[in-house]
Amino acid sequence: MSTSAVRGLHHVTLVTGNYQVNSTFYVDVLGLRRVKLSVNQDDVYHRHAFYANPNATVGSTITFFEWPHLPQGYPGLGSPHHVAYRVKSVECLGLWYWWLRGRSVPAVGPFERFYGFSIYVRDPDGAIVEIVAPKEDMTVDYVRDLLSKRVEVDHLREEMKLMTFDHATLIGLDADLVSRFYEKFLGVSKWAGVRDDMGKAYLVAEDEDNNTYLHYMLFVDAEYGSIGTGAIHHVAFAVNDEQDQRTIMRRLNSARVPNSGVVDRFWFRSLYFRDPDGNLLEVATLGPGYTVDEPPELLGTRLVLPPWLESRRTAIEGALAELDSTNPARWPPNFPALPEDPEVYPLFPPRSNTLNT
Ligand SMILES: [Fe+2]
Ligand SMILES: [Fe+2]
């Protein structure tokens, strides 16, 4: 195995309260392509939808479990903060800003980050999605000026398309603990500590081409978040093959880190475990891929089930229809407001657990 077993992000999985609304947002508004429509293999009467860029590239896939019964989630330890997609240029960022506003999706920005210029939206469930353009040699004033000029964007232009994830951002307590965990078990050795101009500390992992793909925002007093609608359920990293995956599993086992063992997800093989802050992580193989059961042009157009669930299709389809009848789609949704700076923690006022007496 190479020193860096992990190849960057494979997919990121979130929770939605309504598949139809979620699909409208990610396909019609964000311009992603649905590449798989299936069910949660551990909870087969609920959907699992996958969206990706037009080429269905690994590292562009955002997936959702539909769990309408869950309360709103919120970020913290064990509940990652946000995901970011990359676009080609700040000109594209300007088009996105006005495209989103034209669809009544409140976008905020631009923000100058250490990794680029960004705008942010919340999806219908409240999950934060960041869109990042490379910095090149522009100033934030230039980008601000660009975004202040209203443009009519009546369709998603080809050049605007979201490319791959730029990063996923998790919350951690301690830089040493995080970097040593990833180095020891996942072979991630290239880390940099960054402090942004607001004073927030980040630990960022870089791949072999010096692209960052994983950010940890560090807070010594962070508290546990909660997985619910609008929360990131887990973050998956790509490994080349099952051999690399088994090497990681052996390392986890030898240190007695609880893990799932290798699980066959049909489109890839998965291994699950938690980082020291309680975040659920996965390492997933590149193959066999989404086209193993559907031709490329038909990806995501019908409910597909792994072969071992086909015999239960009637019951599954019945349960999903029942779910839809009690969970109608409403569009447009009420997009939750974003905080002034979306890269903050906590995102919501702390919840009171005091009993009313
Ligand atoms: Fe970010
Ligand atoms: Fe996953």
- CATH code of the domain covering residue 151: 3.10.180.10
The CA 131 to ligand 2 mean position distance, Å, reads 22
Q: Which two tokens stand for residue 34?
A: 């649905």
At 8, give phi and psi (nearest 5°). 110, -165
Ligand nearest the Cα of residue 64 is: 2
- Please give the tally of structural domains in the chain: 1
The CA 272 to ligand 2 mean position distance, Å, reads 8
At 69, give phi and psi (nearest 5°). -80, -10
Whether residue 181 lies inside any domain: the answer is yes
Whether residue 10 lies inside any domain: the answer is yes
Give residue for tokens 């989404």.
Answer: 290
The per-residue pLDDT for 75 is 96
Whether residue 232 lies inside any domain: the answer is yes
The CA 145 to ligand 2 mean position distance, Å, reads 39
The per-residue pLDDT for 1 is 45
Whether residue 101 lies inside any domain: the answer is yes
Q: At what angle do helices 140-148 and 90-102 cross, to 10 degrees?
A: 40
The CA 13 to ligand 2 mean position distance, Å, reads 6
* DSSP-assigned beta bridge partners for residue 222: none
Domain containing 255 equals 6-326
Angstrom CA distances, 99 to 32, 53, 108, 280, 357, stand at 14, 18, 12, 34, 49
Asked if the peptide bond before residue 332 counts as cis, ω within 30 degrees of 0, the response is yes
The CA 317 to ligand 1 mean position distance, Å, reads 37
Ligand nearest the Cα of residue 166 is: 1
From the list 254, 4, 294, 253, the residue with the least C-alpha distance to 262 is: 253
The answer to whether 205 and 214 are in contact (CB under 8 A) is: yes
Ligand nearest the Cα of residue 111 is: 1
Whether residue 283 lies inside any domain: the answer is yes
Give the pLDDT of the chain (357 residues) as one tens digit per residue.
Answer: 455 589 999 999 999 999 999 999 999 999 999 999 999 999 999 999 999 999 999 899 999 999 999 999 999 999 999 999 999 999 999 999 999 999 999 999 999 999 999 999 999 999 999 999 999 999 999 999 999 999 999 999 999 999 999 999 999 999 999 999 999 999 999 999 999 888 899 999 998 888 889 999 999 999 999 999 999 999 999 999 999 999 999 999 999 999 999 999 999 999 999 999 999 999 999 999 999 999 999 999 999 999 999 999 999 999 999 999 999 999 999 998 898 899 988 876 544 445 544
The CA 342 to ligand 1 mean position distance, Å, reads 9
- Strand order from edge to edge, sheet including 108-113: 108-113, 116-122, 128-133, 82-86, 165-172, 212-218, 201-206, 191-195
C-alpha 276/C-alpha 173 separation (Å) is: 9
The per-residue pLDDT for 347 is 78
Whether residue 348 lies inside any domain: the answer is no
The conformational region for residue 31 under phi > 0 = left, psi -120 to 50 = alpha, else beta, is left
Angstrom CA distances, 12 to 51, 165, 262, stand at 10, 9, 18
Side-chain half-sphere CA neighbours of 330 within 13 A: 8
Containing 96, the helix (H) or strand (E) segment is helix 90-102
The answer to whether 251 and 200 are in contact (CB under 8 A) is: no
From the list 161, 143, 142, the residue with the least C-alpha distance to 153 is: 161
The per-residue pLDDT for 5 is 84
C-alpha 352/C-alpha 357 separation (Å) is: 13
**Entry pTM:** 0.95
Angstrom CA distances, 340 to 101, 166, 239, stand at 17, 22, 37
The per-residue pLDDT for 355 is 54
Whether residue 223 lies inside any domain: the answer is yes
Whether residue 354 lies inside any domain: the answer is no
C-alpha 59/C-alpha 20 separation (Å) is: 23
